[in-house]
C-alpha cells in the first residue's frame, strides 16, 4: 500500500527557473554576468547574434566536447537570460532544443563593443518569434552546413579549418542590392583558401527563380571584381538533376558565364547530408571534369580561380551597409579556448 504518493507536480518535466524579466535588465545582473560569462559564452552570444538560431546539437558541434557539459552550461545561460530556447512541434519524436539570443546576451555584446544596446538592432520579440517562422527549417539547415565544417575542423589532427562564415543577413547588408546568398564561407586547408557562396535549396523554391539568381551573381562579380564559386545544395538527387538542367540553361544565357562558377550537390551525395567537406560537389558545366570533388578540391574545377582577401575573409562590399544599426564584426567560426569547466 502506498502511504506517501508522489504529488503530480513532481512528475512533470523539469523546468529550470529563470531570473525574472525585470531583474535581467538591471545593472546589477549585468555586472554579475561579467564575472560569470566565459570567453566561450560570449563567443556563443555573437554566433547567435550573427546566425539567429542554433540547435543544441549544432552548439555541441561548434563549442563543446560532450552533450552533458553542453546541456549544463546552456541551462545556466538560459536561466541567466543570456540565451532563450524553444522546441518546435514534431508529430513523431522530438526536435532538439533551439537557442536564440536573449536580452542579457545582446547587452553583453553591445557593451563589449562600446555600442548603445538600443543601436544594436536587437529585438527580443523577433528572436523568440523565430520559433514560428516559416524560414526556421531553412535557417537551421543552412547553419548545419557550416557547423558541420566547424565540427570537422575541431577533430584532433584535422587538416582544415573554417576561416569565415557570414550569415544571409550579413550578406544582404553588403550585397543585397544585387543578390543575397544564404551564406558566405571560407575553408582553409593545406595552406590554401577556398571561398564560396551557398544557395541552400529546400525544394520549395521554383527552379526558374533559383536559376535566375545566376545573372545576379554575374552582376555581383562585375561590381566587386571578385569571381566566387556558388555552391548549390539540394535535398535530393532528383531535385539536383532538374536544378542542374535549369541552371545550365541560365548559365548559357549569361554574357560572361565564366564569372559565375557553379557546383551542385544533394543531400544524397554523401553519407552525411550536411558535410560540405566531403567529395560531393559537381561542376555545373562538366567539360573537362569528371565526378565529384571535396570542398578543398574546388580550385581543381576552376584552375584559374583564386580566393580573395587572404588572411581575413573580409570581402569588399558592393554597397555600404545600412546605417540604421551598428555593424558588429562577424565572429570567428572557430571557438576560443575555454579552460573553464562548463558546469560552473
Q: What is the pLDDT of residue 21?
A: 60
Classify strands 262-266 and 98-101 as parallel, antiparallel or unpaired.
unpaired
The residue to which cell 541551462 is assigned: 75
Q: What is the pLDDT of residue 338?
A: 59
Low-confidence ranges of the chain (pLDDT < 50): 1-2, 6-14, 288-289, 310-314, 320-323, 342-344
Q: What is the pLDDT of residue 1?
A: 47
Alpha carbon of residue 275 to chain centroid? 13
CA triple 160-333-227, angle to 5 deg = 70
Helix (H, G, I), strand (E, B) or coil at 191: coil
Alpha carbon of residue 50 to chain centroid? 8
269, burial (CB in 10 Å: exposed 0-12, middle 13-18, buried 19+): buried
Q: What is the pLDDT of residue 187?
A: 97
Q: What is the pLDDT of residue 10?
A: 43
Element (H, E) at 188: strand 183-189
Any idea what DSSP says for residue 281? Answer: B
Amino acid at each position: 500500500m502506498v502511504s506517501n504518493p508522489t504529488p503530480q507536480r513532481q512528475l512533470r518535466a523539469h523546468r529550470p527557473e529563470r531570473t525574472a524579466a525585470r531583474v535581467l535588465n538591471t545593472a546589477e545582473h549585468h555586472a554579475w554576468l561579467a564575472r560569470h560569462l566565459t570567453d566561450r559564452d560570449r563567443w556563443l552570444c555573437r554566433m547567435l547574434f550573427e546566425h539567429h538560431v542554433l540547435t543544441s546539437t549544432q552548439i555541441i558541434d561548434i563549442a563543446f566536447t560532450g552533450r552533458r557539459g553542453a546541456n549544463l552550461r546552456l541551462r545556466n545561460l538560459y536561466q541567466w537570460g543570456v540565451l532563450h530556447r524553444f522546441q518546435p512541434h514534431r508529430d513523431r519524436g522530438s526536435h532538439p532544443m533551439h537557442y536564440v539570443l536573449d536580452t542579457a546576451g545582446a547587452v553583453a555584446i553591445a557593451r563589449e563593443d562600446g555600442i548603445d544596446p538600443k543601436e544594436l538592432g536587437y529585438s527580443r520579440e523577433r528572436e523568440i518569434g523565430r520559433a514560428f517562422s516559416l524560414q526556421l527549417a531553412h535557417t537551421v539547415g543552412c547553419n548545419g552546413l557550416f557547423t558541420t565544417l566547424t565540427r570537422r575542423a575541431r577533430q584532433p589532427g584535422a587538416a582544415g579549418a573554417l576561416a569565415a562564415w557570414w550569415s544571409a543577413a550579413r550578406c544582404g547588408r553588403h550585397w543585397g542590392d544585387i543578390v543575397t546568398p544564404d551564406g558566405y564561407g571560407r575553408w582553409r586547408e593545406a595552406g590554401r583558401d577556398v571561398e564560396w557562396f551557398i544557395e541552400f535549396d529546400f525544394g520549395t523554391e521554383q527552379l526558374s527563380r533559383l536559376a535566375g539568381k545566376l545573372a545576379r551573381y554575374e552582376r555581383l562579380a562585375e561590381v566587386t571584381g571578385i569571381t566566387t564559386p556558388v555552391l548549390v545544395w539540394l535535398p535530393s538527387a532528383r531535385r539536383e538533376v532538374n536544378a542542374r538542367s535549369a541552371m545550365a540553361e541560365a548559365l548559357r544565357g549569361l554574357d560572361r558565364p565564366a564569372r559565375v562558377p557553379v557546383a551542385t550537390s544533394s543531400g544524397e551525395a554523401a553519407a552525411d547530408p550536411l558535410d560540405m567537406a566531403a567529395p560531393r560537389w559537381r561542376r555545373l558545366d562538366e567539360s573537362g571534369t569528371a565526378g565529384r570533388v571535396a570542398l578543398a578540391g574546388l580550385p581543381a574545377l576552376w584552375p584559374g580561380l583564386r580566393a580573395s582577401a587572404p588572411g581575413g575573409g573580409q570581402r569588399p562590399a558592393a554597397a555600404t551597409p545600412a546605417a540604421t544599426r551598428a555593424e558588429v564584426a562577424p565572429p570567428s567560426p572557430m571557438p576560443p579556448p575555454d579552460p573553464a569547466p562548463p558546469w560552473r
